[in-house]
């Protein structure tokens, strides 16, 4: 439905995006994920028509939109800073684009009422000044303002990053339900890997203007395509040569997720160096063969371990993530 075909964007000689190839399906919740400066916003802005590619082509519904004016692409965009009009009421903010389109007053009212309910804004809040609302409520207004125009595509650039942790988790659940309900194809940007895995049908991981991997959240986490992805997503340990030897696991560029490092009798000897109780699980940093190794466990034994305790660990070969040629 959306196609990035070798899309390259440069700013004054600096390459922000290098030949990006992506396909996003109808109705999908698709996320661009990567560290600050990797080109996420640039990709979104290219699709919205706010940044012009120096090479490549963009398609929406099979139509080449590379040179099509932004307002004719059928995309709605929500930014990190809500960019609302502070002196207007909630209703006026949501209705802004409808006014620009010269839609009739009655129609505007009905559309705003419907979308406000969808995003969880109470009818009583609609006539209030938008500046009186909390951050989470303002973000709902920003999303409603984009949705009310019934875009074919919804673009969201870090819409939750200004909110506190708890609200962020709550709103991301709501956003996911809303997207399913409305069915709008959504391209979401975040640098928060947990958020990306929680929300998305598929995720594209970017690094330095390049695509590292595209896949479902499980693909990205369980079958990370590169050491970069492995390191950026969740937690992982790169095993040293000595650790691989101690564990009897061959050699190479080998990584492991904490939940696959098992406390097991007969395993290699390790020492507990730190201990983080997380409620449902415990994350331990062990020292094995002179280097750190993370393990996560839901067992009561793991929760009861203390610093300097001696344990035995093992990793099954099948749980390893191996990269490149074995050294
Ligand atoms: N208007 C601009 N002029 C010059 N360089 C820019 C401009 N916008 C972005 N860049 C540069 O392009 C690169 C990609 O920027 P972009 O904003 O796409 O990153 P991002 O992944 O969205 O980062 P963040 O997570 O910090 O928002 C960065 O190196 C940035 O400094
Ligand atoms: Mg950005």
Residue ending a domain, choose from 208, 231, 254: 231
Asked if residue 227 belongs to a domain, the reply is yes
Count up the domains in the chain and report the number.
2
Instruction: Say whether both 113 and 53 belong to one domain.
Output: yes
Question: For residue 294, what is the domain's CATH number?
Answer: 2.40.50.140
Residue 38 within any structural domain of the chain: yes
Indicate whether 59 and 81 sit together in one domain.
yes
Domain stops at, among 231, 264, 296: 231
pLDDT at 327: 46
Q: Is residue 171 part of a domain?
A: yes
- Domain of 257 in residue numbering reads as 237-322
Q: What's 119's domain CATH number?
A: 3.40.50.300
- Ligand 1 neighbours, Cβ below 6 Å, are 11, 14, 16, 34, 36-42, 191
- Whether 186 and 125 map to the same domain: the answer is yes
Q: Are residues 197 and 61 in the same domain?
A: yes
- Ligand 1, closest atom to CA 35? 25
168 and 246 within one domain: no
Average pLDDT score, the chain: 93
pLDDT confidence tier of residue 82, bands split at 50, 70 and 90: low
Confidence of residue 241 (pLDDT cuts 50, 70, 90): very high
Ligand 1, atom 27: closest residue by C-alpha: 36
pLDDT at 56: 97
Tell me, yes or no, whether 151 and 287 share the same domain: no
Q: How far is the CA of 37 from the centre of ligand 2 (A)?
A: 7
For ligand 1, the distance from its centroid to the CA atom of residue 48, given in whole angstroms, is 15
Predicted confidence at residue 233, as pLDDT, reads: 95
Domain boundary among 212, 231, 250: 231
Mean pLDDT over 166-191 rounds to 91
Q: Are residues 165 and 259 in the same domain?
A: no
pTM: 0.91
Confirm whether 327 is domain-assigned: no
Which of 21-25, 93-97, 171-175 shows the lowest per-residue confidence on average (mean pLDDT)? 171-175
Q: How far apart are CA 270 and CA 264, in angstroms?
A: 11
Same domain (yes/no): 137, 158: yes
Q: How confident is the model at residue 165 (pLDDT cuts 50, 70, 90)?
A: confident
pLDDT digits (tens, 9 = 90+) for 195-213: 999 999 999 999 999 999 9
| pLDDT value for 134 | 87
Q: Span 272-279, mean pLDDT?
A: 92
Task: For residue 18, report the distance from its CA to the centre of ligand 1, in Å.
Answer: 13
Ligand nearest to the CA of 156: 2
Same domain flag for 217 and 254: no
pLDDT tens digit sequence for 10-66: 999 899 999 999 999 999 999 999 999 999 999 999 999 999 999 999 999 999 999
Together in a domain, 57 and 145: yes
């Amino acid at each position: 439905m959306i196609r990035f075909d070798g899309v390259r964007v440069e700013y004054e000689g600096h390459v922000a995006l290098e030949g990006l190839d992506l396909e996003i399906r109808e109705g999908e919740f698709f996320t661009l994920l990567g560290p600050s400066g990797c080109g996420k916003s640039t990709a979104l802005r290219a699709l919205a028509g706010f940044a012009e590619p120096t090479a490549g082509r963009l398609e929406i519904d099979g139509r080449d939109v590379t040179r099509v004016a932004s307002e004719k692409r059928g995309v709605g965009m929500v930014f990190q800073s809500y960019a609302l009009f502070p002196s207007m009421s909630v209703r006026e903010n949501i209705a802004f684009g409808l006014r620009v389109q010269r839609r009739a007053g009655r129609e505007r009212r009905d559309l705003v009422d419907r979308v406000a309910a969808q995003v969880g804004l109470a009818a009583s809040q609609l006539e209030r000044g938008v500046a009186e609302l909390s951050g989470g409520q303002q973000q709902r207004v920003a999303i409603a303002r984009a949705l009310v125009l019934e875009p074919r595509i919804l673009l969201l650039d870090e819409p939750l990053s200004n909110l506190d942790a708890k609200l962020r988790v709550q709103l991301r659940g709501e956003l996911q339900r809303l997207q399913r309900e409305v069915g709008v194809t959504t391209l979401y940007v975040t640098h928060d890997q947990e958020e990306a895995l929680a929300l998305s049908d598929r995720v594209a991981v970017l690094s330095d203007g390049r695509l590292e991997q595209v896949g479902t959240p499980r693909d990205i986490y369980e079958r990370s395509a590169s050491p970069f992805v492995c390191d950026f997503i969740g937690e992982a340990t790169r095993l040293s040569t000595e650790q691989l030897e101690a564990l009897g696991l061959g050699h190479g560029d080998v990584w492991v997720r904490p939940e696959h490092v098992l406390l097991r009798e007969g395993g290699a000897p390790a020492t507990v160096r730190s201990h983080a109780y997380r409620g449902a699980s415990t994350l331990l940093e062990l020292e094995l063969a002179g280097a750190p190794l993370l393990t996560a466990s839901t067992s009561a034994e793991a929760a009861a371990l203390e610093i300097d305790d001696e344990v035995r660990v093992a990793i099954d070969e099948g749980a390893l993530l191996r990269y490149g040629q074995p050294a």
